[in-house]
Structure 1
Amino acid sequence: MQSKKLLPLLDAIEQETGHRPHPSTAMRWCLKPNKHGNVLESWMIGGRRMTSIEAVRRYNVTVHRDHSTWWVDGYFLRRRRRARRTRLRSAACRRSSCR
């Protein structure tokens, strides 16, 4: 292992992505290969799962190499689009009085 600054798993993910996933999601990233066959590099130290910011960065790059944005950006973009569609539908319904 190279000399990297190891952080608790969720803290490292949050520092790199700006989003704190559910603990079970982070553990799945570490233990189970995704559809690309990648796992998040991590170590058990003193009963705690640790990783580095560089490992999180590498994991995100390999997982999302086909996408232009990181998963957190895509997640919020989809959420905004869904909210906008809902607003537009309700406005159209009010205009045409489809109650």
Structure 2
Amino acid sequence: MLESETKGGFLLFFAALLALFLANGPWGAAYFALREVPVGLLVGEFALEKPLVLWVNDLLMALFFLLVGLGCPWASSSSSSPWPSWTTWGRSWSSPFSTPRD
């Protein structure tokens, strides 16, 4: 698993480095023009058109929160997890104000 995470880290690093060179080099105007290219979605009479940079940001943010949600240890009900699941947490927690159960 570490190998795939390392490859992903290197890929992100080199993509950021490439973007820095493109934005600050002689191709800067073309780079910023590409970011503002309108991209749309048309379904019947429904049309949604936004710049490319907004589509990329929204997609990456959705992917990020999906991966965070999949990686939360308390989101699973597995008994091998050291964290209590949300479904059993309320039952295992005792309050000084609660009445004792028989």
Same fold? TM cut 0.5: no
Instruction: Give the structure-1-normalised TM-score.
Output: 0.31
**Greater RCO between the two (CA within 8 Å, min separation 6)?**
1
Q: Give 1 or 2: higher helix fraction.
A: 2
